[in-house]
Amino acid sequence: MRLSFPRRNASPAPRAAAVALVGCLAGGVVIGAGAVSVGAQGQEPSAFARPAPSLFGMAELDPQKFLVVAAPIGSSSRSQLNIYEQVNGRRPCFAVAEGRPAVVSPLLSTFDFTGICSRYIDANGYSVRVGDTDLATVYRLSVVNQGADIQLMALPTRPGAGPEMVVGRTLGSGTGFMKLELEPGWRLARRTFRGRSLGHLYLYRDSWPAAQPTGSTPSATPASSSRSTPPATPFPSGAVAPASANSSAGQGSGAVPAAGRSNSSVLPSPPPLIR
């Protein structure tokens, strides 16, 4: 006896998903209602290809509780970005000396700072954002020694992602832990998802900087510059300023030794700046 079974038609959903995936890999489509194309249609007037607007949002934070630091990598002359946060006032997380550059004492390395301080030391803890666009996948943050100055640079990781951008400076050369002063237009913000704050910070600006003329170079501010450095903010006793950081720490890399939470990764050496 032959048994007959009703013929089942394949659901159109998997087929539609496969077609959308192929289109996405081809570089022209971003899946989702109202999404912005990553291809030619999504380019801004600056001619740089931009990622689609991020699923992540951003929230303002109190900058007085954060400190942006160029931290040494081992015994080398290289540095990496650390951000320290003073979560509460039970103990100071760092101290900042006067001068250019301003030398930082990472006090959180001397005690278990869990619940008191946070530390952000790699791409798990911070990234670049411009306006509505999260650039974590196409930009990396790197500390670059320019001789008379040490600069925090936002460097594109793929062609056409955007320009190199100077995010901050130490306002002089030196060794050890040094405070990075953010350039005009840049500030810290917190990443959010559906209104909930996450343990990730943005180096953020509202819009893309104006393009530099061909052949121009960022103007490094020497240690003798007249540009003033704000004095350290007393916290809580007058000798310390509020701090910043949370997630990651450079174990064995010269970042603050882990006395509390940490998690580490050292960013690779940046390519030479295009002059």
What is the arithmetic mean of pLDDT over 56-68? Answer: 96
The C-alpha angle 133, 142, 93, rounded to 5 degrees, equals 95
Q: Report the pLDDT value the prediction gives residue 163, as an integer from 0 to 100.
A: 95
81 within 8 A of 69, measured Cβ to Cβ? yes
Overall pTM > 0.75: no
Domain positions in the chain are 57-205
Cα 153 versus chain centre, distance: 10
For residue 222, give both structure tokens: 């020497």
Lowest mean pLDDT among 102-116, 134-148, 230-244: 230-244
Q: Report the pLDDT value the prediction gives residue 101, as an integer from 0 to 100.
A: 93
Q: Is the pLDDT of residue 208 over 50?
A: yes
For residue 137, give both structure tokens: 């996948």
148 within 8 A of 172, measured Cβ to Cβ? yes
Q: Is the pLDDT of residue 251 over 80?
A: no
Q: Scanning the structure block, which residue is given the tokens 């249609």?
A: 41
Strand, coil or helix: 66: strand
Lowest mean pLDDT among 24-28, 72-76, 202-206: 24-28
Q: Report the pLDDT value the prediction gives residue 203, as an integer from 0 to 100.
A: 98
What is the arithmetic mean of pLDDT over 70-79? Answer: 90
What is the arithmetic mean of pLDDT over 242-261? Answer: 39
Q: Report the pLDDT value the prediction gives residue 207, as an integer from 0 to 100.
A: 95
For residue 49, give both structure tokens: 């290809």
